[in-house]
Structure 1
Amino acid sequence: MIKIIHIARPLGGIGVYIDLLSKNIDNNTFSNSIICNTKEKGIDIKNANEKSITKFHVNLIREISPINDIKCFFKIINILQKEKPTIVHCHSAKAGVLGRFAAIVLKIPVVYTPHAYSFLSTKSKLKKQLFKGVESLFRFFNANTIACSASEYHRAIYDVGLKKEKVYVWNNSIEYPIKAKNNSNFIFPDEFICSIGRPSYQKNTELLIKSIAKIRQKISTVHLVILGVGLYSPLIKDIEALIKKYALEKNITLVPWCDRLETMDILKKCQIYTSTSRYEGLPYSVIEALALSKPCVVTNVDGNKDLVKNNFNGFLVSENEGEIAKKIIQLLKDKTTRTLFAQNAHEDFLKNYSIQNTIHKLENIYKTILLP
């Protein structure tokens, strides 16, 4: 049995990644458990037999806190010494640094998935260099990287400087068919555009609002539904103010939270999926849109450009509201192109992002890492 311990804060896309991996990997060959934050006791990740995987809790916080991080590091070492995993799989920046160093100290094979490198998340040149420098340290150790997209693979080699033989790619993948349930209390127009994501620097929601304002100049009935806004977001007041500034209250619906079945039902009913992100790992929301045969208009950035092929299953656009508006208007008015993109989206999903078809590649990567 190959015993894998994940180290992560299993929220958002990282939680989806570990959950889907645990449910779909060969349970006769691999077992999964997780070291996560003490506050994440309510998270329940199950394996293929619907049994909850084992959880170990440490004070793994996002913020840099030297005293806390040192305590957390030694607690991780404690757990790894006791559990003796075959492989340690770390996810995202903080868990990636502490987990990799702990595994290196104990000489346990270790892999790391960035889920979008931390140096992409800041405007500060100093922070970018600092974060990149920390990642570059691991090229001197026996640590492997499993990128979640081709873009992340290239970042690992050409930005971070890792050796090619230590970097692998396993695309984020989801289960198919997608389950959806119509239990929504929200009332939307018959035709609407959809986007998913909490207002943040990464999601660049301001650009999305400005794009809808441009579209409304040509199509007065345009409607955007933003899902997953969150019960709390530091930028929500700014977004609400921007909607009011452009008088878009009747053109935009913000949905704070709904369960996955309801989210998929709303996504299934939209005409177009759009994302104005500044960067991504490999966004599950776009993968879900492809699975549901939705043509996409997305910014030409890491993650988005791995999923959307320009003029094939959607449009890749620059971070410019005029260009975004132009391409969305084109798709709204051209049903023939919309239908063609929808067909291509679904076919591309089945070929590349259905976990039932891709999980064997991850299993082989784990086995390759263990070779002498």
Structure 2
Amino acid sequence: MSTKKVLEVVERLDGGVYTHVKTLINAISPSCSMRADLFVGPLGKLSGIQAHMIQSKYFDRTKGPTLFRTVFELHAQIRLHNYLIVHAHSTFSGLVVRIYQLLFDRTHQRKYVYTPHAFFSEKPMGRVKFRVVQYIERWMLRGFDTVIHVSSEEAEFSENYRLVRQDKIRIVPNGLPDIIPNLSFKDNNLIVMVGRVDKQKNPERFIAIANSVHAIIPSIKFLYIGGGELLPKLQDKCSKLSFVDFVGPQDGVQAFLEKASLFMSTSLYEGLPFAVIEAMRSGLPVALSKVTGHAELVDGNGILFRLSDSDQKIADRIANLMNDSENLQLMGEKSRDLFLKKYTSSIMVGKILDIYRILL
């Protein structure tokens, strides 16, 4: 039986997209009768991915008008290797693949899959810009045979705004390989957040809530792990706060999660965040902003708070949770159970491979 070739197209490997693509590609073995290659831009993490990697120096939206150069480079690779499925991840990759399709595959000889990892139109923006962005997204999505949503909320968003035909939608939650967490060094006063330090993750709100919780529980500590454009500014802002620390990117994130008592996220929007899934895998209860990509991760294992609520109201709920050690432990156990039931990598990869097989 001949090996079917799939090309994963990613502009930049970082954050959740890196974790998703690495988990998917590394799980596709010759026994699947498939081979997954990677067409990727020059930025982001490239280590740990076991695949034939095609690195494009043009595939970088920050360098100006490189879109069509990327499209022509993609065309050359698809023609050379005869990929049967092209799977684009995130918005810019979707645009590149859609333009390639219009220029070089108008008869649709290949199959096309798109995973948005959160729509661009989910970002806060004005009404006019929102309509323009959604028009572009609808046009782009018309070219794909299947659209994989990483959460049911993301799928609901696309249905509500009619971004894609319902028959094209498949829901495949993000997943991670299981590990057995070491919970012997638990710090009962540590709340942790993991994510990029950028506007989407809303780190300034994280600091504001931390201030209010600290006023209720003076022994509490907050830790924010991750790099990003706002990191230097917020490290300076927190330099005089003994209870909040922005430590930048860390290799051993798992050790921090195992030590913490609660995972918190103040994000403005999400796809289905791997950082929260990592926390659930580690048996951590969660306190998450009630936004797309968060709500379905909370089912007896934590709390959801509205970003429209005051810092004090959110802090009161978090403080009440931190002061109830028995309930906190039960929520942590529920997090672990939910992870094993819904969010392992074997579940995610199995569903995506089924989609590939149906298309082939």
Q: TM-score, normalised by structure 2?
A: 0.90
Name 1:120's counterpart in structure 2. 122
Q: Could you tell which deviates more after superposition, 273-282 or 95-104?
A: 95-104
> CA distance change for structure 1 residues 142 and 354 in 2, over 3 Å: closer, same or farther?
closer
Post-superposition offset of 1:237: 4.4
> What is the one-letter code of the residue matched to 2:149?
A
C-alpha separation in 2, matches of 1:206 and 1:236: 11
Name 2:352's counterpart in structure 1. 362
Q: What value does the CA root-mean-square deviation take over the aligned residues?
A: 2.4
Post-superposition offset of 1:323: 3.0
C-alpha separation in 2, matches of 1:338 and 1:80: 51
Name 1:254's counterpart in structure 2. 246
Post-superposition offset of 1:135: 0.8
Q: TM-score, normalised by structure 1?
A: 0.87
> CA distance change for structure 1 residues 180 and 94 in 2, over 3 Å: closer, same or farther?
farther
Name 1:2's counterpart in structure 2. 4
> CA distance change for structure 1 residues 54 and 234 in 2, over 3 Å: closer, same or farther?
closer
C-alpha separation in 2, matches of 1:204 and 1:131: 22
Name 2:192's counterpart in structure 1. 194
Q: Contact 2:187 / 2:259 at 8 angstroms: preserved in 1?
A: no
Name 1:324's counterpart in structure 2. 314
> What is the one-letter code of the residue matched to 1:313?
N
Name 1:82's counterpart in structure 2. 80
Q: Contact 1:100 / 1:110 at 8 angstroms: preserved in 2?
A: no
Structure 1 gap segments, 5+ residues each: none
Deviations 1:99-118 (A, max 9, x none): 13324542221111111111
Post-superposition offset of 1:22: 1.3
Deviations 1:29-80 (A, max 9, x none): 221111111345x713434xxxx43324241113483x32111111111211
Query: Does 1:270 find its partner at 2:260?
Result: yes
> CA distance change for structure 1 residues 178 and 36 in 2, over 3 Å: closer, same or farther?
farther
> CA distance change for structure 1 residues 100 and 144 in 2, over 3 Å: closer, same or farther?
farther
Point out 4+ residue stretches in structure 1 off by more than 4 angstroms.
178-182, 187-190
Q: Could you tell which deviates more after superposition, 110-119 or 190-199?
A: 190-199
Counterpart secondary structure, 2:155: helix
C-alpha separation in 2, matches of 1:290 and 1:179: 10
C-alpha separation in 1, matches of 2:172 and 2:218: 42
Name 1:177's counterpart in structure 2. 179
Give 1:273-312 correspondences, 5 Å limit.
273-309=263-299, 312=300
> CA distance change for structure 1 residues 142 and 251 in 2, over 3 Å: closer, same or farther?
closer
Give 1:202-241 correspondences, 5 Å limit.
202-228=200-226, 230=227, 233-240=228-235
C-alpha separation in 2, matches of 1:181 and 1:55: 41
Deviations 1:165-201 (A, max 9, x none): 111111110001167899xxxx996631110122211
C-alpha separation in 1, matches of 2:144 and 2:243: 53
Post-superposition offset of 1:138: 3.4
Query: Does 1:37 find its partner at 2:41?
Result: yes
C-alpha separation in 2, matches of 1:124 and 1:75: 35
Structure 2 gap segments, 5+ residues each: none
For these two proteins, the number of residue pairs brought into alignment is 350
Percent of aligned pairs with the same amino acid: 23
